[in-house]
A and B are shown apart, each in its own frame.
Chain A
Amino acid sequence: MLPLVGYQRPEAGVNMIEARAVTKRYGDKTAVDDLTFTVRPGVVTGFLGPNGAGKSTTMRMILGLDAPTSGGVTVNGKRYAEHTAPLHEVGALLEAKAVHSGRSAYYHLLSLALTTGIPRRRVDEVIDMVGLRDVARRRVGGFSLGMGQRLGVAAALLGDPATLVLDEPVNGLDPEGILWIRTLLRALAAEGRTVFVSSHLMSEMALTAEHLIVIGRGKLIADLSVRDFTELASRKVVRVRTPEAGRLRDLLVGADVSVTGLEPDLLEVAGLNSEAIGKAACAAAVPLVELTPVQASLEEAFMELTQDAVEFRVDDTANEHDRSVA
């Protein structure tokens, strides 16, 4: 990504997002609860949480759109509203719909550019960058969800910002668009920018982000690297199929080892790896038909992590529809 002008990028470490004990209440509902985290430059940071966890609210507070009830958020060292050239500091994609539906993509971007003296040329540039050239003069109201997302990305890139805040940018994109966003975000981070991306899809974040901030019900659940998360996810379980399941169970079970019977001849062993199980079985002459290490998927691990923090769960009695408050 080429810079717009001779914009002086802040020294390393200055461009980051810092939330300190930030809380947001709407009436008696607490959307964000005492959240503290730091988003660093140079890597893509994923912001994960189930629907209604408070991701969008947090992002709106970063941009000064919503005022925190208590605590504070700074971006690149200042509150957002204190920046004299905000679009150069932070580029944001909030919702696909922060656009007047009656205006064309070109004039939408131009009107944003004019507020801070960005030349018209840059507007054409970002339109080309996101691939909207053919529809730039059409009213945004007729755009598909994917086109709207691309326009939002164009608006975020307009000011060549040091920090990017993107709320669910892959929503509504086709596989090609998702790949495009993923590559773009990583490239932006590699340039030393701070990139903060929310998603409710763990699998997507695992491919895009290097660091994760996970929240649920407005509270911080985890702040860790994707690698740590993946390790956390792979609870070491081995599936063993044997005609002598009872004997093998007695053989293996111990202080750190638990064995669950799934089927009469199928066991799930936690606490031992497949090599140890194989050797033990061999020594005791227990025939093994199958020996499979099982990894929990990232989605499973994510759901386990956020289990208690899911805002709207579908149950049999009340089929609460997906009110996404965040």
Chain B
Amino acid sequence: MTTDIAVPKHAAAQVEPRVPQTDLKVTQWRVLRSEWVKFWSLRSSYITLAATVLGMIGFGVLFSAVTANRWPVMEAAQRLRFEPTGVSLRGFELAQLIIGVLGVLLVTGEYGTGMIRASMSAAPKRLPVVWAKAIVFTVVAFVAGEVSAFVAFFAGQALLSSQHIQTSLSAPEVLRTVFGTGLYLTMVGLLGVALGWIIRSTAGGIATLFGLLLVLPALSDALPQSWSQHITPYLPSNAGQSLTAIHPDTGMLAPWTGFWVFCIYIVAGFIAAAILVRRRDA
């Protein structure tokens, strides 16, 4: 057992290289390619993305069809409140939750399975992994968000056109609203990614994300109005959703102002994530 493997020491160094000498440094670009392959090699990525797109389009079509159907018997007051872009994009209420889960899972899936240790030993500087995941997610979510927003819009308007109550992209603020809805979905997902890094557990990450998106606004509404008017518009989901409305509600931020406020939350989330990832044991 001791002598039958008589390979001379350093024999490996003498073996003829079979591949030309290449540069084997870990680079941001290479980590990005790795993360891209990681994303597309999980079945859950496809399922969650499909659910996001279907939620966005399905509900847009459903609400548009129901509205078109009910239009002839609708009361005047209801008709006054009708806004065709918003009806066709209403699916974002569901889609934001699904894409948020996708964002959280992108990170917590690695912590839950132990994969994070493999990832961090392959890229021990760690931050390239954080940035790569953010970039991969942004690209994927942006495409999925915009495609589903525009499809939902066009399908919805086609259904509404039976009652001649549709709108078009060239109408004021419509293009911004449709595009902004896809952008909002991307940002919600990114917030999920940042929370995933911070919290590391799937259940905790999803609960926190839903809490920020859904519970905080409800709590803020319970505050005295003199307080809530200074808080409510700046909450993450309220700020971000200003971009998804043709005319934001009174008291809410202007569309792009809201967008930038939402961006600040996400940047803050990623700064916290980067600090924690560097500092904590993997």
Binding site for B on A (CB under 8 A): 1-9, 12, 42, 60, 63-67, 80-81, 83-88, 90, 92, 94-95, 97-104, 107-108, 110-112, 114-119, 121, 139, 155, 159-160, 182-183, 186-187, 190-193, 207
Contact = CB atoms under 8 A, between A and B. Distances in A.
Given A114-B37, A117-B24, A66 B124 contact: no
Given A100-B115, A102-B44, A116 B30 contact: yes
B26 A84 contact: yes
B34 A101 contact: no
In the A-B complex, the 3 residue pairs with the closest CB atoms: A6-B17, A107-B41, A81-B124
A107 B18 CA distance: 23
Contacts of B8: 190
A110 B30 CA distance: 12
Interface size class of B (residues with CB under 8 A): 35 or more
Contacts, number: 167
Given A111-B41, A114-B37, A192 B11 contact: yes
B125 interface: yes
B13 A117 contact: no
Interface of B: 1, 5-13, 15, 17-27, 30-31, 33-35, 37-38, 41-44, 109-110, 113-115, 117-118, 120-125, 281-282
Nearest to A107: B41
Nearest to A119: B19
A42 to B, nearest CB: 6
A192 B15 CA distance: 13
Given A1-B12, A67-B281, A191-B9, A116 B24 contact: yes
Given A63-B121, A116-B30, A192-B13, A5 B110 contact: no
Nearest to A91: B121
Contact of A5 (B5, B24, B30): B24
B54 to A, nearest CB: 21
8 contacts: A8-B13, A12-B10, A85-B24, A86-B26, A99-B115, A102-B42, A111-B35, A160-B12
B60 to A, nearest CB: 30
Given A65-B120, A87-B122, A116-B30, A190 B9 contact: yes
Nearest to A159: B24
Nearest to B39: A111
Task: Name the prevailing secondary structure of the B interface residues.
Answer: loop
Contacts of B43: 102, 139
Contacts of A9: 10, 12-13
Task: Name the prevailing secondary structure of the A interface residues.
Answer: loop
A187 B9 CA distance: 10
A184 to B, nearest CB: 10
A55 to B, nearest CB: 15
B22 A86 contact: no
B27 to A, nearest CB: 8
Contacts of B44: 102
A52 to B, nearest CB: 17
A2 B19 CA distance: 11
A86 B124 contact: yes
Nearest to B17: A6
A88 B17 contact: no
Nearest to B279: A67
B41 A117 contact: no
Nearest to A26: B281
Contacts of B115: 98-100, 103, 108
A103 B21 contact: no
Contacts of B123: 86, 115
Contact of A116 (B7, B20, B25, B41): B25
A86 B113 contact: no
A183 B5 CA distance: 8
A103 B10 contact: no
Contacts of A117: 22-25, 27, 30
B41 A103 contact: yes
Nearest to B33: A114
A60 B114 CA distance: 13
A292 B31 CA distance: 64
Contact of A88 (B7, B24, B37, B42): B24
